[in-house]
Amino acid sequence: MRERILETGTETEANGERSAFRRVVETAFELVYPRTCWICDERIVGAEAGGGRSGDVGAVGVLGGFRVPLAALVCAECRRAASVPARTFCRRCGRVAIRETARGDDALCRFCLRKTGAAEFAFDEVRPMHFYRGTTRALVLQLKRTVDPTLAEIAARLYFESRRRVLAAFRPDAVVPVPMNWRRRFLRSVNSPDFLASALARELGVPCWAKTVRRVRATPPQSAVDWEARRDNVAGAFDLKVGKADGSLDRLKGKRILLVDDAFTSGATANEIASLLKDDGDVEAVCVATLARAGLGKGRRL
């Protein structure tokens, strides 16, 4: 049933029983969580909280697997703002694609099209949800400091809704989060890529291999501007966990991996992990899934 609703984006009259059930669920939910938007904190008004418009339907797992409509958690404005922007992202590097090639999901930027000035990334594609600004920036920052995993479920749902087509085309076998620097994790006490990756894995119905990649040395903050300096900064910072009990390395062979990070700036970190996964893990393909494309001068730095 859920799949059918997701496909059509509408609820039918014949589905009255489900609507009645949904009202009960929502009422119960409202007792626990007041209806303010999880991203902007504005109150969600009754009519829009009901959802039902095309693209708005979708449920988010909260409260121990209990699912409520996304529209009851995020206001209509934030849902709209977090969807893919009018400008298309380059599939190779995540820059803004140029018009001549802006054919949906296969679009390229002018650098990748001419193969000049384009970084040779080890990953096969990068799929940001939006620019690092406005609602998406607020979401990324919230994720870094919110302990409640509901927000990660919301972010995963928004991502899934907006990038459904590329996810289906890529056909990932497993989801792998970019590991955080332990010092940053300690200070923030939230590992947002981890939370986001496991929520996205649930949406996709594939396993999340959270411990496959580990950080073997802390990296200083990426303050350098140029790509080479950023790449050198993360070189050798990661390792693949040698799976004795669970065979982590063997299970990577020939797999298609969705590498998840909350934000993507130069691509140096994702590139380092992707080359590790390919060289040492023998994976077939890596697609980087990220909420925000930062570093394009359209938003403030992370």
Could you list the residues that contact Zn ion (CB under 5 A)?
A: 37, 39-40, 75, 78, 90, 92-93, 95, 109, 112
**Between 43 and 165, whose beta carbon lies closer to Zn ion?**
43
* Nearest distance, CB of residue 111 and Zn ion, angstroms: 5
Q: Which residues contact 155 (CB under 8 A, 6 or more apart)?
A: 139, 143, 196, 199, 262, 291
**Between 92 and 137, whose beta carbon lies closer to Zn ion?**
92
Amino acid at 228: E
**Between 230 and 255, whose beta carbon lies closer to Zn ion?**
230
* Nearest distance, CB of residue 109 and Zn ion, angstroms: 3
**Between 39 and 190, whose beta carbon lies closer to Zn ion?**
39
Distance from C-alpha of 268 to C-alpha of 93, rounded to nearest angstrom: 11
Q: 95, 115, 45, 54: which is closest to 74 by C-alpha?
A: 45
Distance from C-alpha of 264 to C-alpha of 293, rounded to nearest angstrom: 5
**Between 119 and 302, whose beta carbon lies closer to Zn ion?**
119
Residue written as tokens 């990748």? 112
**Between 52 and 207, whose beta carbon lies closer to Zn ion?**
52
The CA distances from residue 270 to 149, 177, 219, in Å, are 24, 10, 14
Tokens of 259: 């590498």
* Nearest distance, CB of residue 243 and Zn ion, angstroms: 34
* Nearest distance, CB of residue 37 and Zn ion, angstroms: 3
* Nearest distance, CB of residue 200 and Zn ion, angstroms: 21
SS3 258: strand
Residue 227: CB atoms within 10 Å: 15
**Between 191 and 266, whose beta carbon lies closer to Zn ion?**
266
Q: 118, 191, 105, 107: which is closest to 149 by C-alpha?
A: 191
Q: 265, 38, 40, 65: which is closest to 146 by C-alpha?
A: 38
* Nearest distance, CB of residue 81 and Zn ion, angstroms: 8
Q: Which residues contact 21 (CB under 8 A, 6 or more apart)?
A: none
Contact 143, 156 (CB under 8 A): no
**Between 90 and 237, whose beta carbon lies closer to Zn ion?**
90
Q: Output the 3-class SS for 88-139.
A: CECCCCCCECCHHHCCHHHCCCHHHHHCCCCCCCCCCEEEEEEECCHHHHHH
* Nearest distance, CB of residue 90 and Zn ion, angstroms: 3
* Nearest distance, CB of residue 244 and Zn ion, angstroms: 40
